[in-house]
Amino acid sequence: MSKVMGQGWYCRERVSRVSGRPHVRHCVATHLSTMGGGALPAHQRAPRALGYSSCGTMNGALLSPAKVNLLLKVISKRPDGYHNLVSIVDLVSLYDRISVGELPDNRVVVRDTEGRLPEGAGNTVWRAIMLLKEKFPRTPGVEVVIEKRIPMGAGLGGGSSDAATVLLSLVRQWKLPVGLAELRDLGSRIGADVPLFLTCGPSIIRGIGERVSPIRLPALGYVIVYPDVAISTKDVYEGLRIVLTKRENEVRFSEEFRSLLDIADVLENDLEEVVLLRCPEIKTIKERLKEAGAVGSLMSGSGSAVFGIFGDLEKAEEASKRVGDLGQVFTAESARRGRDRWKSPMSRSTRSTKRK
């Protein structure tokens, strides 16, 4: 039996106008010390020196967000086989839910509620914990239970996000003397997207993902469609045959994104052409999303999920009704995390519709 680690956040629930079921207001979380409960004990506070807080919670579970790539340009192939890239990324309010507990021995157990995730070294969360314990060997055993809501093999960063969320949680719970730069370095050894989720906000990423710079983006509404086709990132990059940009500074774009149209102007993904050969449905999904009112649409990451961008969540929810036959459909909005909380500017529910 694991001992559940204490959490420092509370999420309000409201009843969805769509389904009538309770849902979290995208973790518009309130620090418990503001609710009349007094100050939290030190072990439950986020380490201020790091410049970040742990993720929000819902009913005691950590929330781990997905990402979408608004721009993904592959620059060059490195001698080690990895690729340098430039990408603009937004985090969205589609979350995995994670429970982290301590075990009385030194074991590390990572499992998901549906038994789909690999065990051991094939699991990014397991690798993240083992690297942290390697650096800090006098730490207890850990049990992690993940409720997967972010589709796997979709290009939405679910595995990297989960690893980053667990790292942040353990650093806080164990009060480890780890700075953000050191944690990013650790994260880059786990997965290319982990440093992004440790920074946690809209960002420009460069190199193989280890160089992360915050960027301001307008709040967007999204419809995300996953056509139930899992794509291997490694296979996509191995199949990359496009003419690569030679220098990073050849990728030019304005970093002033003030409107939906500014975002639509940069939508581009160099990997899309490769994935289309494996998943031709992507072209149809992009077209249908635009017909449903999306200002622009694009495949995220290495696929196969495709997203459409909208001015607000209401427009996205309305459009989602017109693409429900294309696969798993999720509506989401830009997720913003402040110093003490996950914030979602439009505060609506995330809803998914599975094809019948």
Give 222's strand partners: 309, 332
Q: Is the dihedral of CA 43, 183, 125, 355 positive or negative?
A: positive
| Amino acid, single-letter form, for residue 177 | P
**343 counts as catalytic:** no
| Amino acid, single-letter form, for residue 113 | T
Cβ neighbour number for residue 259 with a 10 Å cutoff: 12
Residue 329's φ and ψ, nearest 5 degrees, are -120, 130
**67 counts as catalytic:** yes
Which of 67, 133, 148, 286 does the annotation list as catalytic? 67
Which of 90, 96, 112, 193 does the annotation list as catalytic? 193
DSSP for 222-244? EEEEE-S----HHHHHHT--SPP
Q: Is the dihedral of CA 169, 174, 178, 179 positive or negative?
A: positive
User: Length of the chain, please?
Assistant: 356
Please state, in angstroms and rounded to a whole number, the distance separating the CA atoms of residues 164 and 71. Answer: 22
Contacts of 138 (CB under 8 A, 6+ apart): none
List active site positions.
67, 193
